[in-house]
Structure 1
Amino acid sequence: MIENGADMARVDDTLTRIARNAGINNPKIFETTTGILMSIPEQSSAQVEPIQKRTIDLEKVSLVNQNSRAFQDGQISLEEFRDNLVKLNISTPFFSFWLQLIAAVVVSVTLMIMYGGSSEDMIATAFAGGLGYSCYYLINNQLKIRFVSEFLASFLIGVIAVFFVHVHLGIQIGMITIGGVMPLVPGVPITNAVRDVFAGHFLSGMARAMEALLSAGAIGMGIAFVFRFL
């Protein structure tokens, strides 16, 4: 659940529900964005599980939650629950790159219009959003370097916005840029950071807030480079 974007309050509730319905009366659980520590006081044993990757797949989070509640209600056994978790981790479909690209273009154009942009900037914004997201996606999947992907993608979006305005295929550089970077904005980490802080998970909340801040900073730096040197 942590690997796929769940907030810590949901993770803690799910782990506690599973443990208690599996016969552990007093589980001790501590989770962060980088690992889970769980102990069973009666057995004087503990286990640490590191979290080495994080992405956004809320469908997996929902399926884990559904299975945990089915286990709580006695609809499935512990062994069936474990098998279901293994299967959904492998077989849960993820949206293809082309569907993500189309969604990025739609988000870019519609939000540019909502923020007061002109319809004459729609084509430029579509190109900026689509190519920027493609750059972000490819760097994340090929090089796996955090924050560099946001920086280069936003830099490319700024270059495209400047180019389209210079060749008179766009009007407002600012609106094209704003629309283009919308698919890159770390909305889920920001939301989870606020939820974690409100739920008392201050360590995870601050970690997620810092992650979101670094992503936003990388996006801002990419745009700033374009406006400074072009």
Structure 2
Amino acid sequence: MVNEKNDELALDCLLLAGQIMMESGAETYRVEDTMLRMARSQNLDAQSYVTPTGIILSLGKQQKTKIISISSRITDLHKIAKVNNVSRKLTLKIITLDEAYDELRMIQKTNYFLPIWLQILMAAVSSACFLILFKGTWFDMPAAFIAGGTGYLALLAIQHLTKVKFFSEFFASFVIALVAFSTVKLGYGNEIDKIIISGVMPLVPGVLITNAVRDMMAGHLTAGIAKGTEAFLTAFAIGSGVAVVVAFY
């Protein structure tokens, strides 16, 4: 009975670690590696199958197999780092399985994101900085600042209302292009192309594209193709939003 309870706890702990990492934007091979290392630390012969939308974990023929669904995915590298830290401590016998599970539950519940206002401010600042990297003029920096901040605000607002990623990215890029055209038309900007490109940079799925390539290189073809498709749809949504404004102007 004790072994059965320990195996049940191990299953829940490993699945929770994998769920947090996948929902936070980790690579598929990293999730599998972390789960298997945690299993070996408990002398368990685990087998796992990880995709961007779900995880299957088994402890062997005589043990239970569990499946967990991944319904949402964001980019939260801090959570991934904290789960990796829990995995290392468990592997080194610094903490027990119960303590690891409690820490993982705390990580799952905690929101490590910056305040909304600070996220918007950082998106605006990064857009202004990207303008200079793209060899834009200092005169256009305020326009890029406003476009980037307004676009990110629109992204967060639509995500909260619809929960549909495609629509939020489409509307955010639409707002960015609209702000860029308006500032140039009013005489507060010159190079509209660089203002738009700088404004949409906070929306570009850079981490997702990188993870897709890394998963493909690691042999996780299903996950790599799925993430690549998601990145393509994101890029398509951003381009479509800009194209609608360009077509009207």
TM-score range, shorter chain: over 0.9
Instruction: Return the alpha-carbon distance in structure 1 between the equivalents of residues 172 and 111 of structure 2.
Output: 28
Residue 51 of structure 1: aligned partner: 70
User: How far does residue 91 in structure 1 lie from its aligned partner after superposition?
Assistant: 2.6
Residues 157-185 of structure 1 show CA distances to partners (whole Å, capped at 9, x for unaligned) of 11111111111110011011011101110
1:138 aligns with one of 139, 157, 168: 157
Instruction: Return the alpha-carbon distance in structure 2 between the equivalents of residues 159 and 218 of structure 1.
Output: 15
CA contact (8 A) 1:30 1:37 kept: yes
Instruction: Return the alpha-carbon distance in structure 2 between the equivalents of residues 154 and 111 of structure 1.
Output: 16
Residue 224 of structure 2: aligned partner: 205
- Residue 170 of structure 1 pairs with residue 189 of structure 2: yes
Structure 1-normalised TM-score? 0.97
CA contact (8 A) 2:174 2:242 kept: yes
CA contact (8 A) 2:79 2:112 kept: no
Equivalent positions of 1:107-186 (< 5 A) are 107-186=126-205
- Residue 19 of structure 1 pairs with residue 11 of structure 2: no
- Residue 2 of structure 1 pairs with residue 45 of structure 2: no
User: How far does residue 146 in structure 1 lie from its aligned partner after superposition?
Assistant: 1.7
User: How far does residue 105 in structure 1 lie from its aligned partner after superposition?
Assistant: 0.8
Counterpart of 1:75 in 2: which secondary structure? coil
Counterpart of 2:89 in 1: which secondary structure? helix
- The aligned amino acid for 1:162 is F
CA contact (8 A) 1:71 1:78 kept: yes
Residue 99 of structure 1: aligned partner: 118
User: How far does residue 42 in structure 1 lie from its aligned partner after superposition?
Assistant: 3.7
CA RMSD of aligned residues (A): 1.0
| 5+ long unaligned stretches in structure 2 | 1-20
- The aligned amino acid for 2:85 is Q
Structure 2-normalised TM-score? 0.90
- Residue 214 of structure 1 pairs with residue 233 of structure 2: yes
- Higher relative CO (Cα under 8 Å, sequence separation at least 6) belongs to 1
Equivalent positions of 1:185-200 (< 5 A) are 185-200=204-219
Equivalent residue pairs, number:
229
Instruction: Return the alpha-carbon distance in structure 2 between the equivalents of residues 85 and 190 of structure 1.
Output: 27
Counterpart of 1:29 in 2: which secondary structure? strand
Instruction: Return the alpha-carbon distance in structure 1 between the equivalents of residues 43 and 240 of structure 2.
Output: 52
Residue 37 of structure 1: aligned partner: 56
Instruction: Return the alpha-carbon distance in structure 1 between the equivalents of residues 48 and 215 of structure 2.
Output: 15
CA contact (8 A) 1:60 1:92 kept: no
Counterpart of 2:165 in 1: which secondary structure? coil
Following superposition, which runs of at least 4 residues in structure 1 exceed 2 angstroms of deviation? Answer: none
- The aligned amino acid for 2:163 is K
Counterpart of 1:147 in 2: which secondary structure? helix
